[in-house]
Structure formats: structure tokens, C-alpha cells
């Protein structure tokens, strides 16, 4: 089987997500990113997308299972239309909230039972609901460069890594239709204070910046805009 890569590229994942969230009811699954919640707050990374969504959405609910992180975010937040609640995504059909947009960013690669997760998401989707999935790109060029030096770097909680073709296959088998697709980059680099980085990270920052401009299909992130198939 062979797939041809779409030639869609965006330098900002967040901008695309924000465009979909304008005047919509947004459900954000696994919002806290524990155990890195405090770290992201310290680096001013965590609030970036959430604040922007809060400014443009009709309403936003984030669900998570880490009570400590939920309390931390609620104590730090100054949001007007958003709240973080303790809720299990395996019981989504019991959630008293009907989203227009479901954000599933940097989550799917953490899961063991992908079919169960996608089935649960479909329970709160109608034919107009947009499911936005964001996940690391298996063909991220920096990963190949690391491998040349016999090194593999990855998140300690990641269970699986996707290419465009394999993620497309997974979604099709679970009756989820792709309506748009992007190779893109996370917006977190812009939140870092470069002077705080050591030499390794400064060099890596420069290399990644150059590579993303030249080889866009080897960008770090896949962004998929989907809907549930009408017959399901």
C-alpha cells in the first residue's frame, strides 16, 4: 500500500486550531499533561493555546484525571469561558456537554487502547462535530539525525509513533473521516527564553528551525482535522 503525502504545511499548529474554535463549544481531552504541568507553567508554555482559545471560543471544558494538576491549573487560571474538571474520557457519554470541537492534541501517542479511545470520542460526536488530532511525526528529521549518533529521544510516556499513512489507516478502520491534514510545528519554541538553554539546546534550536523551513514534510507534528463517518 502506498499513500501520497498531502502538501499542506503550516508553521503554526495553534493558528489552525484557533480558526476552528472561534465561537464554538470546545472539549479539550487530557488537558493537564501531568507530570509536566508545573514545568510548562514555569516555562510559560502551557497557557499559550488555552488562553487563545478562551479568547475566541463560546465555551471550553478541559477534562483530566490528575487531581493535583487540575487544582494547580484552576488556581493559576484567569479564564472567563473555560474550566478544568476531573473526568474520565472512558465515560464521555455521561458528560453534560455537547462539543462542536474536540481537541485531542498530543494524546493519542500516550494510549494503549487506541480503538477504545476513538470509540469513546465518537460517542459525543455528531456528523458536524470536528475532532482535531495532533501527534508527533514519525518522520521528524531531527529524530533521524539523532539516530545517526545512536540516540533516540522520546517522551517517557509515549507508547506509539505515527506517520501520515499509518494514522490515516487507523482512523479509516475506526470510521473517522479526514477532512484536512497538515504537516506543522508546535508553537512552544517561541515561548522559551533562549538564554536559559544550554549549548546543546541552542544548537538544536537553530538546526530544527532551519530543517523545518527546508523539509516541511519532516516537521515535528501531524495535525489532522476529522469528522465521524455519517453512517456511524
Tens of pLDDT along 64-77? Answer: 887 877 777 777 66
When pLDDT is averaged across residues 124-149 and rounded to a whole number, the result is: 88
Left, alpha or beta for 30 (phi > 0: left; psi -120 to 50: alpha)? left
pLDDT above 70 covers what percent of the chain? 83
How many angstroms from the chain centroid is the CA of residue 31?
Answer: 10
List phi, psi (to 5°) of 77: -80, 145
pLDDT at residue 114, as a whole number = 94
pLDDT at residue 148, as a whole number = 82
pLDDT at residue 196, as a whole number = 61
Cα 132 to Cα 116: distance, rounded to the nearest angstrom: 17
Closest by CA position to 184, among listed 224, 146, 145, 147: 224
Q: 113: pLDDT confidence band, cut at 50, 70 and 90?
A: very high
When pLDDT is averaged across residues 25-29 and rounded to a whole number, the result is: 94
pLDDT at residue 1, as a whole number = 78
pLDDT at residue 153, as a whole number = 79
Q: What does the DSSP 8-state code read for residue 134?
A: E
pLDDT at residue 135, as a whole number = 94
pLDDT at residue 174, as a whole number = 95
Cα 52 to Cα 228: distance, rounded to the nearest angstrom: 26
Q: 12: pLDDT confidence band, cut at 50, 70 and 90?
A: confident
pTM: 0.85
Q: Which residue has the cell 494514522?
A: 167
pLDDT at residue 102, as a whole number = 97
Q: Which CATH superfamily is domain 9-228 in?
A: Vaccinia Virus protein VP39 (3.40.50.150)
pLDDT at residue 232, as a whole number = 56
Judged against a pLDDT cut of 90, whether residue 208 lies above it is answered with no
How many angstroms from the chain centroid is the CA of residue 212?
Answer: 18
Judged against a pLDDT cut of 60, whether residue 88 lies above it is answered with yes
Q: Which residue has the higher pLDDT, 204 or 65?
A: 65
pLDDT at residue 129, as a whole number = 96
Cα 30 to Cα 62: distance, rounded to the nearest angstrom: 7
Q: 121: pLDDT confidence band, cut at 50, 70 and 90?
A: very high
Beta-strand pair 221-228/130-136: antiparallel
Amino acid at each position: 500500500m502506498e499513500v501520497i503525502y498531502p502538501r499542506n504545511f503550516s508553521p503554526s499548529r495553534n493558528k489552525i486550531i484557533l480558526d476552528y474554535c472561534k465561537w464554538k463549544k470546545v472539549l479539550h481531552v487530557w488537558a493537564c499533561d501531568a507530570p509536566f504541568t508545573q514545568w510548562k507553567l514555569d516555562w510559560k508554555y502551557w497557557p499559550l493555546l488555552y488562553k487563545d482559545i478562551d479568547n475566541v471560543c463560546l465555551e471550553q471544558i478541559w477534562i483530566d484525571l490528575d487531581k493535583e494538576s487540575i487544582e494547580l491549573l484552576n488556581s493559576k487560571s484567569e479564564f472567563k469561558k473555560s474550566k478544568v474538571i476531573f473526568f474520565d474520557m472512558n465515560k464521555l457519554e455521561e458528560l453534560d456537554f455537547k462539543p462542536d470541537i474536540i481537541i485531542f492534541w498530543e494524546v493519542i501517542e500516550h494510549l494503549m487502547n487506541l480503538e477504545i479511545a476513538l470509540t469513546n470520542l465518537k460517542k459525543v460526536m455528531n456528523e458536524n462535530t470536528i475532532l482535531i488530532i495532533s501527534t508527533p511525526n514519525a518522520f521528524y528529521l531531527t529524530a533521524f539525525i539523532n539516530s545517526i549518533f545512536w540516540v533516540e529521544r522520546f517522551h517517557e510516556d509515549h507508547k506509539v509513533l505515527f506517520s501520515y499513512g499509518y494514522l490515516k489507516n487507523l482512523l479509516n478502520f475506526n470510521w473517522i473521516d479526514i477532512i484536512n491534514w497538515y504537516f506543522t510545528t508546535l508553537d512552544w519554541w517561541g515561548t522559551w527564553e533562549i538564554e536559559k538553554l544550554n549549548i546543546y539546546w541552542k544548537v538544536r534550536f537553530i538546526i530544527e528551525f532551519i530543517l523545518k523551513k527546508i523539509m516541511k514534510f519532516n516537521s515535528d507534528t501531524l495535525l489532522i482535522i476529522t469528522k465521524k463517518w455519517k453512517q456511524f
